[in-house]
Amino acid sequence: MQDRNFNDIAEKFAHNIYGTTKGRLRLAVLWQDLSDLLTRLPARPLRILDAGGGEGQMACRLAALGHQVLLCDVSGEMIQRAKNAAAEQGVTHNMRFVQCAAQDIAQYMDSPADLILFHAVLEWVAQPQQVLKTLCDSLSPGGALSLMFYNHHGLLMRNMVVGNFDYVQAGMPKGKRRSLSPDHPLNPQDVYGWLDEMGLTISGKTGVRVFHDYLKNKQQQVEKFDDILEIEQRYCRQEPFVSLGRYIHVMAHKPHLKDAL
Q: Domain map of the chain by residue range?
A: 7-254
Q: What pLDDT, in 10s, does the model give residues 96-132?
A: 999 999 999 999 999 999 999 999 999 999 999 999 9
Q: Which residues make beta-bridge pairs with 181?
A: none
pLDDT over 80 at 22, yes or no? yes
pLDDT band of residue 9 (cuts 50, 70, 90) is low
Q: What pLDDT, in 10s, does the model give residues 40-67?
A: 999 999 999 999 999 999 999 999 999 9
Q: What is the mean pLDDT of the chain?
A: 92
CA distance linking residue 125 with residue 197, whole number of Å: 20
Most confidently modeled range among 1-5, 44-48, 157-161, 183-187: 44-48
pLDDT at position 261? 44
Q: What pLDDT, in 10s, does the model give residues 205-261?
A: 999 999 999 999 999 999 999 999 999 999 999 999 999 999 999 999 999 865 554
158 annotated binding-site participant: no
119 annotated binding-site participant: yes
44 annotated binding-site participant: no
24 annotated binding-site participant: no
**Domain topology for 7-254:** Rossmann fold (3.40.50)
Cα–Cα distances in Å, from 200 out to 135, 207, 253?
12, 20, 5
73 annotated binding-site participant: yes
Whole-prediction pTM value? 0.91
3 state DSSP class of 49:
strand
221 annotated binding-site participant: no
Q: How confident is the model over 180-207, as a mean pLDDT?
A: 95
